Chains A and B, each alone.
Chain A
């Protein structure tokens, strides 16, 4: 089955009323009819309506969304899985929430940056309009501001790695807790600083907030060695870092050698990987339910490889027409043996009889 949004927080009375009349609508649900009036009324999956889209930089926007039901809440720094329809197809992506949970208007926001080869970000950045409906999945992530917040903080971010940090800053600001925060942020160009305006405003309003903006296109990247100069007491601060993998690796190494790794929290910000694997490379298949592992040379379908390894798998026509054999792809990519096309997203349903693994995959069968 394709991925669904989170189960919304439906008031009990409404749930009971809908349940009482469900036999009038079987095999559908009353929901299926109510949706015709307002898609946000679905009690099956949480949806939201885009209220506003603010341009942050040339290639990043903040999308403010009103959830269909009372917002479940989140902790500053967490991310949200969001589902949008692009050219007829549902796609799901995770984005850090950039709004803080205390907003009185109840809106939640994400701030996607355009990834040229991507599917979802071009839609959100260029084509989404206020009024569009999106699907809202669960809120996840352990990169969060502790409650109560530590007295002395150090934030290090780069590029769109600033997004979870922004939610933390806003939350601290709202709670009057922005007392002693050093923030080192890097961007390639001055125009490319996401939330540049907000950071400056925060700087002028809160004396406890000390930002250091680094334009890497002019001044080069911040190196761990420069920390002593930018934030001499970095060893004593609770640090939150978010950005590209190389930066994180360098910082982790630095904390391990010279600081206290216990005080370092990080969010691995990963750009969408665009390139496909080499055609027909094959790979290892792990069937999650049965625990069986199998190998395919790239030409053997997942189904056949699994059967040869002793897995009991559902199958029908074995030629890609009947959809009996579908399994949920938990990780990795597959190659359609009929077309040579490589594809695969987490939670996508794939026909095991006509697809071979392209690299290592996990299937929920």
Chain B
């Protein structure tokens, strides 16, 4: 953490675009449009191979995880299977599901990989999520009161939000939210505020609730009944086989009959072994699947909270953005988001949401292109005197957690903002 602000902090943070003239804003809008157009015009086979191979890898990982977990009573198999399944679930939600449902791959005109047909392994229905995320969040990014993802309606994440005693509990429910993130997001999609104010027709609320129940049911059946049952049956069959083999080694003939009379039915131990091992495996597989779901939830929570809540990001009042130009919209996306530094593997695992800035500038550009355009975005920032928010994962996550703890209590002030981006090595003013 490099918080070195010595000067008194203004409670009113100056708008990041105050120093730009209308002409400059217009020019900036054209520059960003041009970056987008260049990439979109050259999309082709290489991009298709990327998403196809990502989907293939995800499915192979899922199969690997499920197969390993057939032997979930073995400790190593449990760990290996849980890891593979967690990785598959993370890829499925982030690099694949989120991005496909943004329409990033619609240009391929492929009915299998299309925003209108994709469904994902999470509690939110595709339809409800596309509305609350693609439309509400991406259009009104970081506008207080309009961007429902700002604190997800249950957290005070910005000092401008009015304090209420209920926020005292937010450090606790923050942790619960992390573990149950998919359920939090699903309920959040319902938009309780709109329901309360009667802005959402009841039939729609009912339909959406039914959708969540349907998603819940299929997750419960798949992860907590069907796969545990399959692995239980597989393990039971193996153990019964072993027991039966040993049984066969028992002496036959008169001697055998005598000894069996003493021990009871010769099949009893076989059945006992099968039931015992089966029920143990059932529990272990269910536990492994629950763990993978939680790992995925915590990871998604961490990446997503690092997207808009670190100290560097700006929030906006509805008045500030009235009559916003295209250039102004771009700057709000740019300054309202923050990237996470990391390796290529980290970027894939985060669904390239570690390029949150690029993603918010161009939400429907294939995620694999964000790394490529990052230098061009930085260049624009440098020339227009705008910040380019980025930081290491733990630093960003730490800032977010500090804010959640601090703003549980009344008061609080906006954190100091980084100055304009000054190239790779020139920016010493990071929040």
Contacts and interface: CB of A to CB of B under 8 A. Distances in A.
Interface string B45-69: 1111100000010011001000000
Interface in B382-416: none
Given A2-B111, A44-B112, A319-B329, 6 more contacts: A3-B109, A24-B230, A26-B222, A88-B44, A89-B44, A317-B134
Contacts of B56: 36
Interface stretch (B117-125, B243-251, B309-317, B423-431): B117-125
B33 interface: yes
B364 interface: yes
B412 to A, nearest CB: 31
Interface stretch (A205-213, A272-280, A296-304, A321-329): A321-329
A262 B410 CA distance: 88
A91 B138 CA distance: 30
Nearest to A42: B112
Nearest to A26: B218
A85 interface: yes
A27 B118 CA distance: 9
A324 B135 contact: yes
A322 B218 contact: no
A324 B131 contact: yes
Nearest to A338: B33
B114 interface: yes
A23 interface: yes
A36 B222 CA distance: 21
A353 B117 CA distance: 20
A320 B138 CA distance: 11
Interface residues of A, number: 34
A24 B226 contact: yes
What's the interface size class on B, roughly? 35 or more
7 contacts: A3-B111, A85-B110, A89-B108, A316-B139, A317-B135, A321-B139, A324-B130
Q: Which secondary structure dominates where chain B touches chain A?
A: helix
B103 interface: yes
Contacts of A338: 33, 37
Interface of A: 1-4, 23-28, 32-33, 36, 44-45, 85, 87-91, 316-317, 319-324, 326, 338-339, 348-349
A348 B108 CA distance: 10
Nearest to A321: B363
B115 A323 contact: yes
A295 B33 CA distance: 28
A88 B114 contact: no
A4 B112 CA distance: 8
A32 B59 contact: yes
B227 interface: yes
A346 to B, nearest CB: 11
A45 B110 CA distance: 12
Contacts of A324: 130-131, 134-135
| A1, A27, A85 interface centre (most CB from chain B within 10 Å) | A27
B135 A23 contact: no
A316 B221 contact: no
Nearest to B134: A322
A23 B218 contact: yes
A91 B108 CA distance: 9
B362 to A, nearest CB: 8
Contact of A322 (B48, B121, B135): B135
B120 A33 contact: no
Interface in B160-218: 215, 218
B83 interface: no
A44 B139 CA distance: 35
A347 to B, nearest CB: 9
Contacts of B230: 24
B364 A1 contact: no
Interface string B92-112: 000000000011001111111
B121 A27 contact: yes
B116 interface: yes
B108 A326 contact: no
A169 B20 CA distance: 73
B135 A316 contact: yes
A326 B226 CA distance: 37
A317 B139 contact: yes
Nearest to A44: B112
A27 B106 CA distance: 19
A8 to B, nearest CB: 14
A25 B121 CA distance: 10
Nearest to A315: B135
A348 B110 CA distance: 10
Contacts of B329: 319
A28 B92 CA distance: 11
